[in-house]
Amino acid sequence: MPAKRTSAQDESHIREAALVLRAGGIVAFPTETVYGLGADAFNAVAVAKVFEAKRRPSFDPLIVHVADPKDTVRLWREVPPAAQKLMDAFWPGPLTLVLPKKDELPGIVTADLDTVAVRMPRNDAALALIRALGSPIAAPSANVFGYTSATSADAVMEDLGDKIDIVLDGGPAAIGVESTVLKIEQGRAVLLRPGGTPVEEIKKYISVDVPAASAAVESPGQTPSHYAPWTPFVASELDYPDIQKQLERLHKLFAEKEKPWPRIGILLFGERKESPLFANMECLSAKKNLNEAAAHLFGAIRKLDKMNLDLIVAENVPEKGLGLAIRDRLSKAAAGKRAVDSFFDNLLQ
């Protein structure tokens, strides 16, 4: 049976969703970052259903969502001063903190790690749902594991509509990329995943270690390929004019060899530029605003992925503010796929 889709604005629907959770069911709900697929964090059987529905490997731990910073006493052994400072500054909001867990929390939530990731979302429906359940909600992003995250109820229905009970529709997610994940250890913070809270903001409160992209990250879910569309995908380090030059050269080569030009979609950071080189274009932010670009990112990738393209190329995005998170998602979406040159070499053979 397809999931029942209800309005997250309606209190009676929140209560209904909370009853499903209390009975051990799973519910998709809006947050300010992306949609989450939730279960009662203290019900191990319900949490197992989340892993199964999104085909998530059991080694990848979930984030637990609370409606009040005080609720972390049920989850963390203690709250060190560094964590308290960050919670005061950024909660509710897209910042997840990883700290040693209490034994009472089922091991399935944390993939048997000794720590648990917790955040308080900045979304009224999410907070109301947690309060109505009276228990923290364990929730990963509401997408099929490895695929592009869902920033709308439509996207959740596409991925999981036949596997879950209820989708609470709260409209488009305001931020559009997942929370920043920080591990707090001996008063220092290590960035495990760039996200909706810019690292520059966090550094105003605490020094943050940002591991090099190539360094092994301690976050089991940060597998190299993630957020990926089915269509071959390239995250270019070039801005649009240089991508255009690169493709014009290739286009000439195709014409000379009388090879058909592939259907290419481009994910533009800046404004739309008509060009016969591209079958489709999606623009993240005409004014090159990184917050707007983040909000449109996953929806635009999903849209291009439906257009029967041979290749999607994403324009370069600056590495500041939410740009760090966007670049992370683009490079993971491209991981394990071929680079532009080898893609075209193959077609030219």
Binding region for Mg ion (CB under 5 A):
141
Should residue 295 be labelled a site residue for ligand TXA when binding is judged by CB under 6 A? no
Residue among 119, 227, 132, 128 nearest 170 (CA):
128
Q: What gap in Å lies between CA 76 and CA 239, rounded to an integer?
A: 44
Place of tokens 């520059």: 200
Place of tokens 């949609």: 35
Beta bridge partners of 101: 76
Task: Kindly report the backbone phi and psi dihedral angles of residue 277, in degrees, each rounded to the nearest multiple of 5, phi listed first.
Answer: -70, -25
From 6, 72, 123, 219, residue interacting with ligand TXA (rule: CB under 6 A): 219
Should residue 108 be labelled a site residue for ligand TXA when binding is judged by CB under 6 A? no
How many other β-carbons are positioned within 10 Å of the β-carbon of residue 249?
Answer: 10
Nearer to ligand TXA by Cβ, of 31 and 72: the residue is 31
Report what 113 binds from ligand TXA, Mg ion, none; CB cut-off 5-8 Å by kind. Answer: ligand TXA
Nearer to Mg ion by Cβ, of 101 and 226: the residue is 226
Residue nearest to ligand TXA (CB): 221
Should residue 61 be labelled a site residue for ligand TXA when binding is judged by CB under 6 A? yes
Residue nearest to Mg ion (CB): 141
Should residue 113 be labelled a site residue for ligand TXA when binding is judged by CB under 6 A? yes
CA distances from 302 to 146, 193, 264, 325 (A): 13, 22, 15, 18
From 43, 148, 179, 231, residue interacting with ligand TXA (rule: CB under 6 A): 179
The upper half-sphere exposure of residue 14, i.e. CA atoms within 13 Å in the direction of its Cβ, equals: 18
Sheet containing strand 115-119, edge to edge, reads 4-7, 166-169, 27-29, 36-40, 137-139, 63-65, 115-119, 95-100, 180-185, 188-193, 208-209
Q: How far is the CB of 195 from ligand TXA (least distance, A)?
A: 6
Nearer to ligand TXA by Cβ, of 66 and 283: the residue is 66
From 6, 43, 72, 110, residue interacting with ligand TXA (rule: CB under 6 A): 110
Beta bridge partners of 118: 64, 97
Residue 30 near residue 125, CB atoms below 8 Å: yes
Q: Which stretch binds ligand TXA (CB under 6 A): 92-100, 262-270, 317-325, 336-344?
A: 92-100
Q: How far is the CB of 191 from ligand TXA (least distance, A)?
A: 11
Report what 61 binds from Mg ion, ligand TXA, none; CB cut-off 5-8 Å by kind. Answer: ligand TXA
Give the footprint of ligand TXA on this chain (CB under 6 A): 31, 33-34, 36, 60-63, 94, 96, 98, 110, 113, 115-117, 139-141, 178-179, 181, 192-193, 219-222
